[in-house]
A = this chain, B = another copy of it.
Amino acid sequence: MKFELTILGSSSATPIFQRNPTAQILNINEKIIMIDCGEGTQQQMLRFGIKFNKIDSIFISHLHGDHFFGLVGLLSSMNLNGRVKALNLYCPVALKEILDIQFLHSGSVLRFPLNYFFTQTTSPQKIVDTPDYIVETIILNHRIPCTGFLFTTKKKLRKIIKQKVDELNIPKQYIDLIKKGFDYTDSQGKTHSAQTLTTEADAPRSYAYCSDTLYSLDYLHSIKNVNTLYHEATFLNDMSQRAKETYHTTALEAGYLALTAQVNQLIIGHFSARYKDVNLLLLEAQSVFSNTKLAIEGKTYRV
């Protein structure tokens, strides 16, 4: 099952030349999901050729502007481009008020259903459950209420070995049963076990998104053993005091979290505008957790 992450923005609070505020695209089995939507996200989508109307759901972690100021423009453009398909929006409750007042004064009436699902920030919730994946919130610790998101694919049925099915000329109607573990008996009465006709299903995979947070082990249980952890790394560790004051994480701390949570891969982003060269942040995180990558705008990562 495809499970890919594309970075649209990697800057923290203020954009700098060539670095935009946070936004990401997840592709889970061709379901297109946006996570956060800083100013200029629609321009980034144009730049990287991502179609607005393919987006199925949008998840907003919190109401600092660098994580949502691009949303109203994106929704307006979807509307002007004739979208009719419903869009699911998972967000803090006040976002509805913020969007409504702007639509009101611009005389805009959305021609597509915008379905709001409000996140709460006291304990992790399962907020989405589809045949392919689930989404749970991660309770982060920021200056204002903030949730991360954990996307986990579901374990699918075992995979048919096509060559064997063809050899035995197994009728189509048996295939799903075999995938589910039923043995197959052929016309000569010979039984072929489901195990021999199939291979193991893909293991579930998981992506944890931790947008803005003070370094803490409080949410370790939510990110434990994930395949890919995206974590903010706003500062180098020599600014750990500043990170604490602003409820942010340093690159070193992000590395520690990845190590402690035993994740496969760490992607760091949300870089402070003060760092023209973000490789210093990468090296610092890698000094603790070697499989760390930088969030590079336009780049796609396998989860």
A116 at the interface (CB under 8 A from B): no
- When distances are taken between beta carbons in the complex, the residues of chain B under 8 Å from A101 are 94, 97-98, 101
What are 16 of the A-B contact pairs (CB < 8 Å)? Answer: A14-B77, A17-B46, A40-B43, A64-B106, A64-B107, A65-B108, A66-B73, A66-B76, A69-B69, A69-B72, A69-B76, A69-B102, A95-B105, A97-B101, A101-B101, A107-B143
Task: Please measure, in the bound complex, the distance between the C-alpha atom of A135 and the C-alpha atom of B42, giving whole angstroms.
Answer: 33
Name A65's contact: one of B43, B65, B73, B95 (CB within 8 Å). B73
Interface residues of A in 75-121 (CB under 8 A from B): 76-77, 80-81, 92, 94-95, 97-98, 101-102, 105-108
- When distances are taken between beta carbons in the complex, the residues of chain B under 8 Å from A33 are none
Task: Please measure, in the bound complex, the distance between the C-alpha atom of A63 and the C-alpha atom of B76, giving whole angstroms.
Answer: 13
Copies per complex of this chain: 2
A220 at the interface (CB under 8 A from B): no
Task: Please measure, in the bound complex, the distance between the C-alpha atom of A69 and the C-alpha atom of B47, giving whole angstroms.
Answer: 19
Shortest C-beta distance, A85 to chain B (Å), equals 17
- When distances are taken between beta carbons in the complex, the residues of chain B under 8 Å from A43 are 15, 20, 39-40, 43
- When distances are taken between beta carbons in the complex, the residues of chain B under 8 Å from A168 are none
